[in-house]
């Protein structure tokens, strides 16, 4: 599957302007872009789980994660750019959607849905029959997002390795 997709996008705030949404493969030197998007999304969306005054965002650990991912041939990370600005990304590997983050300024614009569909299609084209992911138990926004797209709880749970150590719940979708 090609990872370079360009589509037009209309900003609901500026209906006369057209923007270009591009989804492309991340290159080796772009781990810091992923950190920036994930940090903005996480701080805005998970403040009730990880209060920033008590649990600062783990910049170093997250940057290391993305540096490893972009160098791992078994994993694909794609970046969504809106008029050349990084606004979201998805990371996937065989049978797993490992991450999907969108900048808070772009929430509700359909970018997450496009990244999701791109990732699931890529995994399906690998020949996988199902896909799995983890979501914070208290992340109701993400859980609704995935459930609307056919994902179902699979009964798996795990403890997140960052304080205050909340629970992730597992989801599966049949492809």
Q: Give pLDDT tens digits for 33-49.
A: 999 999 999 999 999 99
When pLDDT is averaged across residues 67-93 and rounded to a whole number, the result is 96
The residue segments making up the domain with residue 73 are 5-128
Domain membership flag for residue 75: yes
Residue 172 lies in a domain: no
Domain count, the chain: 1
Q: What mean pLDDT is predicted for residues 94-122? A: 97
Percentage of the residues of the chain whose pLDDT score is greater than 90: 86
* pLDDT, tens only, 4-25: 554 545 555 544 446 789 999 9
Question: What letter would DSSP give residue 110?
Answer: S
Q: Which CATH number is 28's domain given?
A: 3.40.630.30
Is there a domain that residue 37 lies in? yes
- Residue 154 neighbours by CB distance under 10 Å: 14
Query: How many CB atoms neighbour CB 84 within 10 A?
Result: 8
User: In the numeric block, which tokens belong to residue 88?
Assistant: 């979201």
Residue 36 within a domain: yes
For residue 70, tell me if it sits in a domain.
Answer: yes
Domain assignment of residue 40, yes or no: yes
Does residue 50 belong to any structural domain of this protein?
Answer: yes
Distance CA 91, CA 115 (A): 9
pLDDT of 19 reads 74
Whole-number Å distance between alpha carbons of 114 and 28: 23
């Amino acid at each position: 599957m090609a990872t370079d997709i360009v589509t037009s996008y209309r900003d609901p705030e500026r209906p006369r302007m057209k923007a270009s949404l591009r989804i492309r493969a991340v290159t080796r030197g772009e781990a810091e872009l992923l950190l920036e998007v994930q940090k903005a999304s996480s701080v805005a969306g998970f403040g009730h789980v990880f209060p920033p005054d008590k649990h600062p965002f783990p910049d170093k650990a997250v940057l290391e994660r993305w540096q490893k991912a972009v160098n791992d041939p078994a994993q694909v990370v794609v970046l969504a750019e809106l008029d050349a600005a990084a606004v979201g990304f998805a990371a996937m590997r065989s049978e797993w959607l490992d991450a999907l983050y969108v900048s808070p300024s772009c929430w509700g614009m359909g970018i997450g849905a496009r990244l999701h569909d791109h990732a699931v299609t890529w995994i399906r084209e690998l020949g996988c029959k199902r896909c799995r992911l983890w979501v914070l138990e208290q992340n109701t926004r993400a859980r609704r997002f995935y459930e609307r797209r056919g994902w179902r709880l699979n009964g798996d749970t795990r403890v997140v390795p960052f304080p205050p150590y909340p629970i992730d719940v597992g989801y599966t979708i049949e492809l």
